[in-house]
Structure 1
Amino acid sequence: MSRKKLAAAIDVGSHEINMKIVELERNEAPRVIETVRRTLAIGTDTYNTGRISQSLIYACSDVMSGLADKLHEYRINDCKTVATSAFREASNQLFAIDQIDRACGLEIKVLSNSEERYYHMLAAAEMIPDFDQMIKHGTLILDIGAGSVQASVYDKGEFIFTQNMLLGSLRIREILADLERQAVDFGGLMAEYVSGDLENYRMLEPKGTTYKNLIVLGGENHYLNRMAGKDSGAYQILGRNDFDKLYDILMLTKSDELAMERGIAADHAPLLLPAAMIIKKFMNFTGVDKLHMPVTGMTEGLLLEQAYLGGRYKLKHDPENDTISACRHLAKRFKTDRGHGQTVEKLALDLFRQTTRLHRLSSRYQTLIQAAAILHDIGKYISMSRHTYKSYHVIMASEIIGISRVEQTIIALIARYHSGPVDLEDAALSELEPQARLAAFKLIALFRLANALDTGHLHKLDGLEVEIDDKELIITLDAGREITLERWNMEKNSDMFIQVYGLVPRIKLRRRRKV
Structure 2
Amino acid sequence: MSKAAPVAVIDLGTHSALLLIAEKQAGNGFTVLKEDFKVTRLGAGIEKDEILLPQNQENTFKELREFKKEIEAFGCGQVTVLATEAMRRAANALTFLDALHKEFNWQVKVLTPEEEARFSYLGAISVYEDFTSKLFTVIDVGGGSTEITKGRGKEIERSRSFPVGVVRLAERFDYRERMVSFDIPTVQEILDAQFDEAELKKLTEDTFLVGTGGTITTAAAIHHGMETYDPNVINNTSLTLDQLLMMFEDLNARSLEERRQVKGLEAGREDVIIYGLMIYIHLMQRAGVWRIRISAGGLRHGFLLANV
TM-score, length basis structure 2: 0.85
Structure 1 counterpart of 2:37, which letter?
Answer: R
C-alpha root-mean-square deviation of aligned residues, in Å? 2.9
What is the correspondence of 1:496-515 to structure 2 with a 5 Å cutoff?
none
Distance of 1:7 and 1:115 partners within structure 2: 20
Match of 1:320 in 2: none
- State whether residues 216 and 294 of structure 2, in contact with CA within 8 Å, keep that contact through their aligned partners in structure 1: yes
Partner of 2:289: 288
Deviations 1:240-280 (A, max 9, x none): 44334323323333333111243522311222211211111
SS at match of 1:35: strand
Partner of 1:341: none
Q: Which residue of 1 aligns with 2:85?
A: 85
State the alpha-carbon separation in 1 of the partners of residues 100 and 115 from structure 2: 22
Q: What's 2:147 paired with?
A: 150
**Alignment equivalent of 2:180, drawn from 170, 177, 186:** 186
Cα separation, partners in 2 of 1:109 and 1:289, compared to 1, 3 Å: same
Residue pairs, 1:137-176, within 5 angstroms: 139-154=136-151, 159-176=156-173
**2:256 partner amino acid:** S
2:133–2:152 contact (8 Å) kept in structure 1: no
Q: How does 1:117-266 map to 2 (within 5 A)?
A: 117-135=117-135, 139-154=136-151, 159-177=156-174, 180=176, 185-186=179-180, 188-190=182-184, 192-199=186-193, 201-202=195-196, 205=199, 209-210=203-204, 212-229=207-224, 233=231, 234-235=234-235, 236-262=237-263, 264-266=265-267
Q: Residue 295 of structure 1: SS of its match in structure 2?
A: coil
Question: Structure 1 residues 266 and 238, CA, compared in 2 at 3 Å: closer, same or farther?
Answer: same
Structure 1 residues 161, 225: CA separation in 2 closer, same or farther (over 3 Å shift)? same
**Contact preservation (8 Å) 2:150, 2:157:** yes
Q: AA paired with 1:142?
A: I
Which stretch shows the higher mean deviation, 74-83 or 234-243?
Answer: 234-243
TM-score (norm 1): 0.53
1:190 and 1:291 map into 2 onto residues whose CA distance is 22
Whole-Å separation in 2 of the counterparts to 1:247 and 1:54: 32
Larger radius of gyration: 1
Letter in structure 1 aligned against 2:195: Y
Q: Secondary structure at the match of 1:43?
A: coil
Contact residue 195 and residue 281 of structure 1 kept, 8 A: no
Q: Quick one: structure 1 residues 42 and 131, their matched pair in 2 at CA, closer, same or farther if it must change by over 3 Å? A: same
Preserved contact between residue 61 and residue 104 of structure 1 (Cα < 8 Å): no
The question of whether the paired residues in 2 share the 8 Å contact of 1:144 and 1:168 is answered with: yes
Residues 141 and 165, structure 2, Cα contact 8 Å, conserved in 1: yes
Return closer, same or farther for 1:75/1:237 CA change in 2, 3 Å cut-off. same
Identity among equivalent pairs (%)? 19
- Helix, strand or coil at the partner of 1:24: strand
Matched, 1:273 2:267: no
Query: Partner letter of residue 42 of structure 2?
Result: I
C-alpha distance 105-69 of structure 1, shift in aligned 2 (>3 A): farther
The 2-side partners of 1:174 and 1:41 are apart by 12
Of Structure 1 and Structure 2, which has the larger fraction of its residues in strand? 2
Contact 1:18 1:35 in 2 (8 A): yes
Per-residue deviation, 1:57: 2.7
- Check conservation: 2:203, 2:287, Cα contact below 8 A: no
Residues of 1 paired with 2:130 and 2:241: CA distance? 21
Unaligned runs of 5+ residues in structure 1 are 308-515
Q: Which moved more, 1:40-49 or 1:87-96?
A: 40-49
Partner of 1:104: 104
Higher helix share: 1
Structure 2 regions of 5+ residues with no counterpart? none
The CA distance in 1 between the partners of 2:153 and 2:298, in whole Å, is: 25
- How many residues in Structure 1 have an aligned counterpart in Structure 2? 301
Amino acid at match of 2:251: L
Task: Provide the C-alpha distance between the structure 1 equivalents of 2:303 and 2:153, rounded to a whole number of angstroms.
Answer: 27
Aligned partner of 2:35 in structure 1 is: 35
C-alpha spacing 1:134/1:246, structure 2 compared with 1 (3 Å): farther
Whole-angstrom distance in 2 between the partners of 1:67 and 1:206: 37
- 2:110 corresponds to 1:115: no
User: What amino acid is the match of 1:192?
Assistant: T
Q: How far has the Cα of 1:51 moved from its partner? A: 0.5
Amino acid in structure 2 at the alignment position of 1:201: F
Q: Is the 8 A contact 2:137 2:151 kept in 1?
A: yes
Shift of 1:44: 0.2
**Partner Cα separation in structure 2 for residue 187 and residue 293 of structure 1:** 28
CA distance in 1, matches of 2:153, 2:23: 35
Tell me the secondary structure at the aligned position of residue 72 of structure 1.
helix
Counterparts of 1:4 and 1:188, CA distance in 2: 57
Cα deviation, residue 300, structure 1? 1.3
How big is the shift at 1:65? 3.7
2:202 and 2:287 in contact (8 A); partners too: no
The verdict on how the C-alpha distance between 1:107 and 1:4 changes in structure 2, with shifts beyond 3 A counting, is closer
* Greater alpha carbon shift after TM alignment, 42-51 vs 206-215: 206-215
Q: Deviations over 1:316-362 (max 9, x none)?
A: xxxxxxxxxxxxxxxxxxxxxxxxxxxxxxxxxxxxxxxxxxxxxxx
Q: Which amino acid aligns with 2:286?
A: F
8 A Cα contact 2:170 2:272, kept in partner: yes
With a CA cutoff of 8 Å and minimum separation of 6, indicate the structure with the bigger relative contact order: 2
Equivalences for residues 29-68 of structure 1 within 5 A: 29-68=29-68
